[in-house]
Amino acid sequence: MMIYMDNAATTRMRREVVEAMLPYMTAEYGNPSAGYELAARAKKAIEQAREEIADTLGCEAEEIFFTSGGTESDNWAIKSTMMAKNRGHMITSKIEHHAVFHSCRFLEQKGYQVSYIDVDADGLISLEQLENAIRPDTRMISVMAANNEIGTVEPIAEIGKIARKHHVLFHTDAVQAYSNIDLNIERDEFDMLSVSAHKINGPKGVGFLYVRKGTKLPPFMCGGAQEHGVRAGTENVSGIMGMAKAAKLAFQNRKMRLSHEYEIRNYMISRIQREIPYAKLNGHPTKRLANNMNFSFGNVDGGTLIAMLDHQNICAASGSACTSASKEASHVLKAIGLSDEMAHAAVRLTINENITFQEADYVINCLKYDVMRLQSELG
Ligand SMILES: *Cc1c(COP(=O)(O)O)cnc(C)c1O
């Protein structure tokens, strides 16, 4: 039996999601742009999906644009906003996902200017520094709603207020936040918001970008007239159907799901802190995603620990799935002030609603055994 605790990297599709997709991979294979009944049914299906997704955010269907996932949504929002002019300035945080971070680096190479705002030791952005960084040529702010490594939930309502006050566009990467924290179109005042299906038990390779009506966002993908002419490419019909189903389910049982995750997560955190020596919890103690734990264990190499857990049939991540292939310490863990050593010692466990206390106990016992073994070898 396998225990999967890497839900921040990706999630398993629900049976209902697969079932919602299957017809559009078989009998209902029409190209939504074509002119016959088979195509019209596919077109109707994606417009229905757009309505359902809009309902989860309380926005209008025409404000939802389907993309190939979180990475494309982030690239589109940032590059297209900035590159609409030849120069300009934008503001982001030091703990963004690589899809945002590397888009900003790309823009810097093209001559645009980017301010990277500090976070505190818990990963919360400095609002004062953010507001002070705004200049006359600042075009946008991009700050994530919740962090994928340490789980910290950022004050997006406050950031939105600052952006609005200074007439600057506000984009948020909500890939980890969507359906897991309360996002409110009116209160939070964001102009663009990125979501990915495979982080909410939907299929990989599909997502969307919410774009507030009236926001000027040039196309990123050029080609046909799909998505009102701003995102070309034949629609991923089955993927969109799967995403809409996954979104609907995620919002339907949200209260119960989150409270179960909180309960198990808090139980695990308190046992780990009590029973495992030199365990440091990374990220904010309370303003964090319900399913996220990130620990650095003193005198332990995170990669080695992950391999030991793998042998015990536990899937966990060292720091972040995206950085595990590289030797560089995670930029997120560095930004919250961890030493290289403590950053390399980090392990991320992200649970889902199906985890039982019995499974949680098994994972804690394995962790305890592995960590203490590594600490006695290395310490
Ligand atoms: C996973 C993730 C992305 C990338 O989404 P993909 O659909 O995998 O491209 C972007 N931002 C955050 C915060 C993520 O967790």
322 is catalytic: yes
Radius of gyration of the chain (CA): 21
Q: Which atom of ligand 1 is nearest to the CA of 96?
A: 13
CA angle (78 as vertex; 144, 107 as ends), nearest 5: 115
pLDDT of residue 195 exceeding 50: yes
The pLDDT of residue 322: 45
Neighbours of 146 (CB within 10 A): 27
pLDDT in tens, 271-285: 999 999 999 999 999
Q: Which residue's C-alpha comes closest to atom 12 of ligand 1?
A: 175
Location of structure tokens 């701003």: 230
* Class of CATH domain 15-252: alpha beta
Model's pTM, two decimal places? 0.97
CA distances from 47 to 35, 44, 235, 250 (A): 16, 5, 11, 20
Question: For residue 361, which of 222, 264, 244 has the smallest C-alpha distance?
Answer: 264
* pLDDT above 90 coverage of the chain, percent: 95
Helices (H), 58-155: 70-75, 81-83, 98-109, 127-132
Running DSSP on this structure, what letter comes out for residue 171? Answer: E
pLDDT of residue 226 exceeding 50: yes
Q: Which fold has domain 3-11+254-378?
A: Aspartate Aminotransferase, domain 1 (3.90.1150)
pLDDT in tens, 288-321: 999 999 999 999 999 999 999 999 999 999 964 4
Running DSSP on this structure, what letter comes out for residue 318? Answer: S
Q: Which residue's C-alpha comes closest to atom 6 of ligand 1?
A: 70
What residues pair up with 4 in beta bridges, in sequence order? 315
pLDDT of residue 10 exceeding 70: yes
Please work out whether the CB of residue 70 comes within 6 Å of at least one atom of ligand 1: yes
pLDDT of residue 378 exceeding 80: no
* Dihedral of alpha carbons 156, 69, 258, 315, sign: negative
pLDDT in tens, 320-370: 444 455 578 999 999 999 999 999 999 999 999 999 999 999 999 999 999
Instruction: From the candidates 104, 315, 322, 366, give the one annotated as an active-site residue.
Output: 322
Would you call 140 helix, strand, or coil by DSSP? strand
The answer to whether 98 touches 92, Cβ cutoff 8 Å, is no
Mean pLDDT for all residues in the chain: 96
CA of 100 to the centre of ligand 1 (A): 9
Location of structure tokens 């955190």: 269
| Total residue count of the chain as it appears in this document | 379
Q: What is the mean pLDDT of residues 86-99?
A: 98
pLDDT in tens, 13-22: 999 999 999 9
Please work out whether the CB of residue 78 comes within 6 Å of at least one atom of ligand 1: no
Q: Which atom of ligand 1 is nearest to the CA of 74?
A: 10
Contacts 24+ apart (CB under 8 A), 108-112: 110/83, 111/87, 112/82, 112/87, 112/88
Please work out whether the CB of residue 292 comes within 6 Å of at least one atom of ligand 1: no
Q: What is the mean pLDDT of residues 230-241?
A: 97
Is residue 377 very low, low, confident or very high in pLDDT (cuts 50, 70, 90)? confident
Residue in 71, 153, 180, 243 to alter for ligand 1 test, most ligand atoms within 8 A of Cβ: 71
Please work out whether the CB of residue 370 comes within 6 Å of at least one atom of ligand 1: no
The residue ranges of every structural domain in the chain are 3-11+254-378, 15-252
Lowest mean pLDDT among 121-125, 151-155, 334-338, 373-377: 373-377
**The pair of three-digit structure tokens given for residue 263, joined into one six-digit string:** 């309960």
The pLDDT of residue 321: 46
pLDDT of residue 269 exceeding 70: yes
Residues 6 or more apart whose CB falls under 8 angstroms from that of 162 comprise: 127, 130, 131, 134, 141
pLDDT of residue 124 exceeding 70: yes
CA angle (172 as vertex; 171, 175 as ends), nearest 5: 140
Would you call 121 helix, strand, or coil by DSSP? coil
Is residue 186 very low, low, confident or very high in pLDDT (cuts 50, 70, 90)? confident
Helices (H), 313-356: 331-335, 340-344
Exposed e or buried b per residue across 217-239, where buried means at least 16 C-beta atoms within 10 angstroms of its C-beta:
beebbeeeebbeebbeeebbbbb
